[in-house]
């Protein structure tokens, strides 16, 4: 695909440079230059593709890391002296048991409502472990990613399917109004999605504690708790890491831009198709800027 090794500038700064160029061109003498802006939009599209892929990979790596750290912390928390060794063993046995029990339930498809996601979250750990044990179930993994991270032992987790994303923020360049669009659909590569995946990594600690034993029965008890934690985590995550703020702003601009020059969307890139369809509802500023030719 696109070789990112070619230059030192990363996708993120390319995106900001490109947007700056487009913005400046509106005040240039002689009117907007259609050709130049078209070329800049190509760079923007390319940079966005790379940026989103990189971001997703990074979030995934962070998930893995946080998962490991959380488990370690949890072990220390609960029985720092006695059960450290035993717990690890118990966990594994419990997981194996869960795997066996929930194998059938885990095969369900991706698109679920939020409620199901929460329920699925409790069994997510099992199914994902199963993923590591057996043939991975791509669609199932994605739907649960919202709630629970992959298990620490699960090295390979496929990420090929779509998931729900609850909200997207759109910035109208003309009025500078920020609106939050609910119930959009985004592909795996979307940063919003990834953000939520990242921060929900902290919930498994409590969930796993509940899970020891029979997973199915805990489905009802766990949801409220995990949901509450999830909501809190989501907000935290948005503002916790300083770079997240920047990237969320950029991802917002990216989703805005998905609305313009939709002819540039590659037919193979489903990502942009989804993003643009979703953002087409909020065309506004960019359309005005571009269609003004």
> What's the farthest any 2 CA atoms get from each other in the chain?
77
Q: Are 102 and 215 spatial neighbours (Cβ–Cβ below 8 Å)?
A: yes
Measured from the CB of residue 261, what is the shortest distance to other proteins in angstroms? 6
User: Residue 122 Cβ, how far from other proteins at the closest point, in Å?
Assistant: 43
262 binds other proteins (CB under 8 A): yes
Query: Per CB under 8 A, does 50 bind other proteins?
Result: yes
- Does position 29 interact with other proteins (CB under 8 A)? The reply is yes
Nearer Cβ to other proteins (163/253) = 253
Nearer residue to other proteins within complex by CB, 17 or 216:
17
Residue 62 in the binding site for other proteins (CB under 8 A): no
Considering the rule CB under 8 A, would residue 7 count as an interface residue with other proteins?
yes
In the complex, least distance from residue 27 CB atom to other proteins, rounded to whole angstroms: 11
Among 80, 113, 242, 263, binds other proteins (CB under 8 A): 263
CB count, 10 Å around CB of 235?
A: 11
Q: Does 267 bind other proteins (CB under 8 A)?
A: no
Q: Tell the burial category of 27 from Cβ atoms under 10 Å away from its Cβ (0-12, 13-18, 19+).
A: exposed
- Closest to 207 measured CA to CA, from 99, 90, 74, 105: 74
Sole window of 9-17, 111-119, 124-132, 238-246 interacting with other proteins (rule: CB under 8 A)? 9-17
The least CB distance from residue 245 to other proteins, in Å, is 24
| Among 91, 99, 98, 96, residue whose Cα is nearest residue 72 | 91
Q: Residue-wise over 73-110: b if at least 16 C-beta within 10 A, else e? A: ebbeeeeeeeeeeebeeebeebbebbbeebeebbebeb
Query: Per CB under 8 A, does 26 bind other proteins?
Result: no
Between 108 and 273, CB nearer to other proteins: 273
| Angstrom distance (rounded) from CA 66 to CA 69 | 5
**274, 189 contact by CB (below 8 A):** no
Residues that bind other proteins (CB under 8 A): 1-3, 6-9, 11, 14, 17, 21, 29-31, 33-36, 38-39, 42-43, 46-47, 50, 259-264, 287, 290-291, 293
């Amino acid at each position: 695909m696109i070789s990112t090794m070619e230059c030192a500038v990363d996708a993120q700064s390319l995106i900001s440079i490109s947007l700056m160029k487009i913005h400046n061109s509106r005040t240039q003498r002689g009117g907007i230059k259609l050709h130049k802006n078209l070329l800049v939009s190509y760079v923007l599209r390319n940079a966005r593709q790379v940026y989103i892929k990189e971001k997703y990979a990074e979030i995934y790596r962070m998930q893995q890391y946080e998962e490991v750290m959380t488990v370690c912390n949890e072990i220390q928390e609960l029985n720092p002296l006695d059960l450290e060794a035993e717990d690890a063993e118990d966990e594994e046995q419990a997981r194996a048991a869960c795997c066996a029990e929930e194998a059938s339930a885990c095969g369900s498809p991706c698109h679920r409502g939020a409620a199901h996601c929460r329920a699925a979250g409790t069994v997510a750990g099992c199914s994902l472990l199963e993923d590591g044990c057996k043939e991975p179930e791509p669609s199932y993994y994605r739907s649960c990613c919202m709630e629970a991270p992959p298990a620490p032992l699960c090295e390979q987790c496929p990420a090929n399917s779509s998931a729900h994303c609850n909200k997207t923020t759109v910035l109208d360049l003309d009025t500078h109004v920020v609106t939050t669009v609910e119930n959009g659909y985004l592909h795996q590569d979307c940063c919003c999605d990834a953000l939520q995946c990242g921060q929900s990594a902290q919930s498994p600690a409590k969930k796993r504690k509940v899970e020891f034993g029979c997973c199915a029965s805990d489905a009802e008890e766990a949801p409220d708790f995990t949901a509450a934690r999830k909501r809190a985590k989501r907000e935290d995550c948005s503002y916790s890491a300083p770079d997240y703020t920047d990237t969320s702003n950029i991802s917002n601009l990216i989703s805005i831009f998905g609305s313009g020059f939709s002819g540039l969307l590659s037919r193979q890139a489903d990502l942009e198709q989804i993003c643009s369809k979703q953002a087409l509802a909020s065309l506004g500023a960019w359309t005005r800027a571009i269609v003004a030719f």
